[in-house]
Structure 1
Amino acid sequence: MRREVMVFCYKLPSVLLITCWLFFQNSSYAAPQVIDRIDASVNSSIILFSDVAKFREIAPLRAQLDPLFQGTTIAEKGSNASEEEIVDFLINEKIILQEFKVTDAEVEQQINEIQAGNKINRTTLKSTLEAQGFLFDDYFDLIRASVAKRNLIDRDIRSKVSITDDDIKNYFYNHYARNAAASVSYKVRIITVTPENYKSLVAARETAARALQEIRRGEPFEDVAKRISDDPTAETGGDLGTLTEEQMSPFIKSILKNLQIGQTSEVISAPDGRLMILKLADLISADTERYEKMKDEIRNHLASSEYQHQISLWLERQRQVAFIHKAGQPSPVNPTR
């Protein structure tokens, strides 16, 4: 019996359904079956339902190649991520690929470098991928995305990420040393303004506020202390030295507990009536051996978090000017670039 095949493509609101109807002579039509659909569009690019399925299929390979995938929530979920999470990830990837275009030649160069580094040829690479259940074409696409993302990091993100020794000490103290048996000492600076030395309390408050304002504008705390403070430590820039918790009053301790290294307090009223500004200049833990062992690990952790934060800010800015439409949502107004 002769079989006729008829293919119909039609558009429904927000979603393009590509359906195939098989017609058999002397028989009824088969039920329509969705082959693919558009889940989202980003400017001139589209994200298909099959792209979501492909994401799940090659998630383990992406984890090896994608510099912005590792360590994220969606990476932890992998193939179990929801369709919405995957579509959002792919939208961000499309934005990066559009902003940092990578040619086929650049992808080939990157693959050749990988092959040279691993001392393998293209045939071996393809057979290795096939043994793991992956296609070379998918590998090629992931390399393109990874090159684009590294270009984003190198050109727009890296210069914005800086982890200081104070950042590392703060993290170590807040996450490891605070509740440990080893003692912690505080290096503190102070500025005091005593109301009795001024015509009025209002004048004293204005002086203290001006001191804080000058510090926040970038003037060194020590210089402001020498010029304004009436504490005996003024000559040394307000240096109180290094104090243990046992050497501090409960009032001072409560202020310092809420400061990070290098941070300055607001103007505070002390129990004795003085106005003061405190700076936590440094933290010194007795557990120095543990700190030294963990320093590089903490630095890498903080850097990774800051990279993710800066990339999120970059993507947020780009999404505000991109034409993004998800299936099932009202058509967006074209943003002004």
Structure 2
Amino acid sequence: MKVAFIFSLAFVLSGQAARSEPRLLNAVVARVNDAVITYRDVYNRVLQDLDFLERQYRTQPEVFQQKRDELIQKNIELLVEEQLILHEFKTAGYKLPESYIDEEVDKNIRTTYQDRATLTKSLQAQGLTYEAYRTQLRERFIIGAMWRHNVPRDPLISPHKITLYWAQNRDKFKVEDEVKLRMIVVTNRPNGSLSSAKNLSREMLAKIKDGAPFDEMARIYSQGSQSNEGGDWNWVQRSVLRPDLAQIAFSLKPGQVSDVIESPDGSCYLMKVEGARLAHIKPLPDVRDEIEAVLKDEEFKRLRKKWIQRLKEKSYVVIYPIS
């Protein structure tokens, strides 16, 4: 039934259906307590993203249909959540002073519209009345405030949980063999001779062997993406480099500089390894912040889901299957 519903809704949300059958946009998709969610609500919510998906997957109709259905389903769920939150605000007896909405209107005028006349014209173009606009702002303000009040965006994570996550997910923190690499790249310019890149590279190598700093040579002569940083690639794993370059880089010892490496396209490379380290598990201090961010996100999602589920349990919610 859910699939039939999604395809029905997808038809209504198509531009052609919306124009030829505007009455369908008023059909009810879901009820949440005494509020209804219509096709129009979903249409307004997904229209921009739907256009983007259609352009992105123009030549992949099956992928587009899948992405479209996921987008529709996700936004129906979000609309249901919003109505649950608005109902909770109302039944809890909370009040939102009109002065808050006045401030929001004034802020939007300052940041977006510049003056009230421009705001009025924009609302008319969207088919919105001023009161409908204020209602949108009011609901948006309430929903944001209720989320912040009931679901902390920055939940506390204990050090024990961070340590436990690191111990139980060591594979996620595996690092391959790495070398700290600098590289000079000399491309064979279209108008240059085939030997020009090789000759320049040989001259640089001779200067480096005589004591010229590798990083200075890179800044002056390299045409690679890291030339401004003295050819510094920092720590790299074997998989980052071309196989032929990786083989040479990982055969060098720290402090060693390669011979001139010729590429089939006429480009030449010089590499210097400044350090090497074997495959290892990143130590906890190096990944503590990363783990904490992951756990905070997981905890936020858990608390969010728990609160919405609690609201659903004391509410009347139905999404209509339409064939």
Q: Same fold (TM over 0.5)?
A: no
TM-score by length of 2: 0.41
User: Which structure shows the higher helix fraction?
Assistant: 2
Whose RCO is larger (CA < 8 A, sep 6+)?
Answer: 2
